[in-house]
Amino acid sequence: MIISASRRTDIPAFYSDWLYNRLEQGYVYVRNPMNEHQVSKIVLNPEVVDCFVFWSKNPKPFIKRLSQLQNYSYYFHYTLTGYGRKMEPYVPELQDSITCFIALSKNIGRQAIIWRYDPIIITDIFTVEYQVKTFETIARQLSGYTDECIISFVDYYKKTIKNLSGIDYSDITLDRINDLAQTFNKLGQRYGITIKTCAEEIDLSKYGIDHAKCIDNKRIETIIGSSLKTEKDKNQRAACGCVTSIDIGSYNSCPHGCLYCYANYDMKRVHNNFAQHDKHSALLFGKVAQDDIITDRKMFSCKTN
């Protein structure tokens, strides 16, 4: 199986000790986001975990112990946007993040680290011109340290709109999307970085931009040196190209506090959940209750050779 860690929260930034403890114990408990009393036991044995996919805006606390992942295959999604404290209150400064990205790439190789420039949001401060300038600043410095950048355009969910109250944001028109896509791809070609989109229905192939698979079976096959038998993840949006994975994170648990985040919709709950975190627990936060039902998740390798 492929383990996602995690679309729902930043495990490398805030829960690295917990994850390394879970690897030592060989399993983790994950609550069903639709029914919190349904708990799955996920085995983390290297024989059944084909690859970890890590998602982070600050993997620095995590990478100090990468040697403990020597029995596992993995790659990183590393988000660098440069929105600053007003939009990303507790994300490191951009230049510090770029330095960390380069150090991680030198350690694990460019094929194992993907740059995410998402979501793209247009405001009175983060104008189209700002986006282009920032994108090129990052791309220039990451040239040679990654082979892919995944972009997306912000989705204004109700919870996102609530978090963005007080921010002068505007809709991203089709013309703006086309202009940014064309410009970003030219910059990507200049710096040797392939641009792809995440879960976007719009076809940007005329600019040389294809749809991405963030959980990418082809990339994983290259990393592990084996073919995989995988299917499209039916639990993701129709436009999402990811293959099936198991996510071991939880919503409302990422203290980065990014205003555009869909995984956090109640910062009070985020702080409460973070306060309940115990690095020695099988759960990311909280404890197993008497009315919880724990089920062993069927685990198997997807390798075909």
For residue 304, being part of any structural domain is answered with no
Rounded Cα distance between 70 and 269, Å, is 35
Confidence band, pLDDT 50/70/90 cuts, at residue 156: confident
Provide the percentage of residues in the chain whose pLDDT is more than 70. Answer: 100
For residue 301, being part of any structural domain is answered with no
The predicted model scores a pTM of 0.96
For residue 305, being part of any structural domain is answered with no
Q: Which residues neighbour 207 within 8 Å (Cβ) at sequence distance 6 or greater?
A: 178, 181, 182, 185
pLDDT of residue 302: 96
pLDDT of residue 123: 95
For residue 174, being part of any structural domain is answered with yes
Confidence band, pLDDT 50/70/90 cuts, at residue 155: confident
Q: What is the largest CA-CA distance in the chain?
A: 58
For residue 23, being part of any structural domain is answered with yes
Q: Parallel, antiparallel, or unpaired for β 27-32 and 51-56?
A: unpaired
pLDDT of residue 103: 97
Rounded Cα distance between 9 and 114, Å, is 17
Q: Is 131 helix (H, G, I), strand (E, B) or coil?
A: helix
Q: Domain range spanning residue 65?
A: 2-296
Report yes or no: 28 and 282 within 8 Å, Cβ to Cβ: yes
Nearest residue to 240 (alpha-carbon basis) of 208, 207, 196, 205: 196
Tens digits of residue pLDDT in 245-303: 999 999 999 999 999 998 998 899 999 999 999 999 999 999 999 999 999 999 999 99
Tens digits of residue pLDDT in 70-81: 999 999 999 999
Q: How many domains does the chain have?
A: 1
Report yes or no: 246 and 4 within 8 Å, Cβ to Cβ: yes
pLDDT of residue 171: 87
Confidence band, pLDDT 50/70/90 cuts, at residue 162: confident
Q: Which residues neighbour 169 within 8 Å (Cβ) at sequence distance 6 or greater?
A: 121, 122, 123, 154
Tens digits of residue pLDDT in 174-191: 999 999 999 999 999 999
pLDDT of residue 174: 94
The residue-averaged pLDDT of 74-92 equals: 96
pLDDT of residue 265: 85
The residue-averaged pLDDT of 133-157 equals: 96
Q: Is 36 helix (H, G, I), strand (E, B) or coil?
A: strand
Confidence band, pLDDT 50/70/90 cuts, at residue 225: very high
For residue 233, being part of any structural domain is answered with yes
pLDDT of residue 18: 98
Q: Bigger pLDDT: 165 or 53? A: 53
Q: Which residues neighbour 130 within 8 Å (Cβ) at sequence distance 6 or greater?
A: none
The residue-averaged pLDDT of 3-16 equals: 98
Task: Write down the residue that tokens 């919190």 correspond to.
Answer: 36
pLDDT of residue 158: 81
pLDDT of residue 160: 85
Question: What is the pLDDT of the chain when averaged over all its residues?
Answer: 95
